[in-house]
Structures are given as structure tokens and as C-alpha cells.
Amino acid sequence: MNPQETHHDVGPAISFIVGLPFHHTTMEDALKDYVSIMRGDRSAYWVTANVDFATRAPTDPVLKDLVFHADRVFCDGLPLVWLSKLFGRPLPERVAGSDMVPLLLETSASKGYRIYFLGSDEATLAKASKIATERYPGLEIAGHHSPPFAHVHEWDNEHIVADIQATDADLVLVAVGSPKQERWISGYFDQTGAKLAIGIGASLDFIAGSQTRAPRWIQRVGFEWLWRMLTDPKRLAKRYASNFTYLGRAAFTQWRAYKKHYPIEERTDDQSQDEVIDLSANDKLTPEILAECVTKMRKARLAGKQTPTVAASSELSLELAKLGLMAAPAKHKSTGRALDPQFGKGH
């Protein structure tokens, strides 16, 4: 995907949490943004990121690049919302993809937007389409496709893209699980002519009734993950153990980075303000500084410019590398300063 062709704004304020940027937005905001995109002349893609997503992204450059430059990154995990409050830059609420999809379908039915389902199996697609059109009168499912169980580049993507184009779909909902659905969006969505793509995981299974979501009270207290694990322990127990181990380590790393004091160093280069993020005079790292770094990176991508470099002490550069915002710093032989490391570089 070429983000320069799809992004139409930098988006709302950002909080940087355990390696990922999350937008300060609500479900109500999401529905308003959806209508705005449908009425506009540029396409966009959204990401709903939970703890499992945050665990995968640091070791998956394509996934990380996609989420760093998504038009909207919704926080689909209460533990991440809680961490945002702990770090002093709170997100307004959890925006779960499984809650969003029915509301998008309802809005689409009332506004006349056309939907395309990509993913799941034929039986689930047929049942979900039938239930959705019955539940939301006027909803138009323009088409659907069940890809094979294979790497996305092994799918017949030429046929899939042509089919989406032929249906004149407005919204493409990709339901093959993360990170596969994000890889497809990254590689092929911009060829479809649709206005918006979202990876929705198991949402079609929830609509079709082949999977059951946790009761609402369990969702509210933040234990929907436990409900899901108990319904499929063989598949999910190991994954969730890995997720929360990563979450604990990453949260501690970020908390510790905020508590440290860093040396102040004088800049000696002549790069312009647009080319560099100058942290050389900062002796503390704050949530606002991390948010500013991500925002400047997104602005550079939107403008078609090179990712900014960072001017900072080697100690601060090392912390930014640990947090996933830049490459491991190289020390200058004479001053010890970080040598123009880049963060969030596109892949």
C-alpha cells in the first residue's frame, strides 16, 4: 500500500503504549469518521489493535509500519486503556472491533454504503450475510470471498481485487485474523477502489453465531480474553500467556524510561527542523514527547518526505530503541551522541 495515496489527515491526538500508537477516539467518533470517509474522495484503512496485536508488531516490520501509518488505530483492549491512564496520557475508551462492525453495518444500511466480506469460510460468510441483511434492513452486501488457508500472496489476489472492483464496494471487511488480514490490506487494498478497509478478526463468526462473545459484564471488567481462552484453551492459553508476559515487560520498560534522567547534549549538525526531531535538550522522556515523535513521523509520511531522524543523547536514543521508536543507536566516536538513527521507518 502507498500511504501517500490513502491518508487524508494525521488524525486525532496519539498515545504511545508498549510500542504502538493509539488514537484518542471513541466509538461515536469512529462512526462519524466512517461517514466522512464515505463522502470523501480518498481511501483509508483502520486498525483495531489489542494486546495480541501489540505483541506481534515489534517483530513484524510490515505489521508495525501498517499500524504506525493507519488513518485510525483503535485501542481494542482494556489492559492497554489502563496502561494509558497509568502513563498519564489516557485514552477515552476501548473501541472493540467486534462492537464496531455491527454499528458500521447499521450505518451502512441507513446510508446506502456497500459492504464486501473477505475471509472466513463459505458457510460462515453466507450465514453472516443473511443475518446481517435481516438485522439491518437496506444493508447491501455487495460480495464476499473465502480465501484459501495459505499465505496472502498465494491467494488469487488478481481475482479478489477484480471482484471487489466489480461490486463497487465501499467498505471491505477483512476477516482472516491478524497479522494476515493486515498483510492483505497492506499489499492489495489500494487496488480495489473501495473507500475503507478494516481487519475484523472473528467478527463474522460472532454475527453468524459460530463463536460467542463474553457476556457484557465480563467485557466491561476487562476479562473477555479470559472468557475466550476458557472456550478454546488448547489454542489460546499459550498465546495469551505470551501476550501478557510481553505486556508486563514492555509496560515496565516504558514506565522505567519515564523515571530516568538523561544527559543534555548540544547539537552539532545543521539539519532542518523538518528533518530532525531534536531531543538533545530533554533530560526527561514523557508521554507527550513520544506522541510528538509519532505524530511528526506520520506527518512526514503524509507529505511524502523522508522519516525524520532523532537528535538525542546516546542514553535517550537507547531508550527510544527499547520502546520501538528508532533503530539501536550508533555512537559518534568523539561526542557519544546518537548518529542520526531513524525510528518507525517504512518497510
Give mean pLDDT, residues 255-271.
81
Give 198's strand partners: 46, 173
Separation CA 264–CA 311 (nearest Å): 11
Percent share of the chain, pLDDT over 90: 58
pLDDT of 9 reads: 61
CB 42 within 8 Å of CB 74? no
Separation CA 107–CA 115 (nearest Å): 11
Burial class (CB in 10 A: 0-12, 13-18, 19+), 126: middle
Amino acid in position 324:
G
pLDDT of 4 reads: 32
pLDDT of 270 reads: 58
pLDDT of 265 reads: 75
| pLDDT of 337 strictly over 50 | no
User: What pLDDT band is residue 332 in, cutting at 50, 70 and 90?
Assistant: very low
Separation CA 181–CA 342 (nearest Å): 27
Nearest alpha carbon to residue 21 among 61, 44, 54, 43: 54
Separation CA 245–CA 256 (nearest Å): 17
Residue with cell 528533518: 275
pLDDT of 236 reads: 78
Separation CA 288–CA 268 (nearest Å): 25
Higher local confidence (pLDDT), 272 or 297: 297
| pLDDT of 80 strictly over 60 | yes
At 163 the three-state DSSP class reads helix
Query: pLDDT tens digits, residue range 115-139?
Result: 999 999 999 999 999 999 999 999 9
CB 274 within 8 Å of CB 294? no
| pLDDT of 343 strictly over 70 | no
Q: How many Cβ atoms are within 10 Å of 27's Cβ, its own excluded?
A: 16
Give mean pLDDT, residues 269-297.
82
User: What pLDDT band is residue 204 in, cutting at 50, 70 and 90?
Assistant: very high
CB 90 within 8 Å of CB 172? no
pLDDT of 310 reads: 82
pLDDT of 268 reads: 60
Give mean pLDDT, residues 239-262.
93
pLDDT of 267 reads: 64
Range scoring the smallest mean pLDDT among 145-149, 174-178, 335-339: 335-339
What residues contact 84, with CB distance under 8 A and at least 6 apart?
15, 17, 22, 75, 90, 91
Mean pLDDT of the chain, nearest integer: 86
Q: Which fold has domain 3-226?
A: Rossmann fold (3.40.50)
Give mean pLDDT, residues 30-41.
96
Higher local confidence (pLDDT), 254 or 220: 254
| pLDDT of 69 strictly over 70 | yes
Percent share of the chain, pLDDT over 70: 89
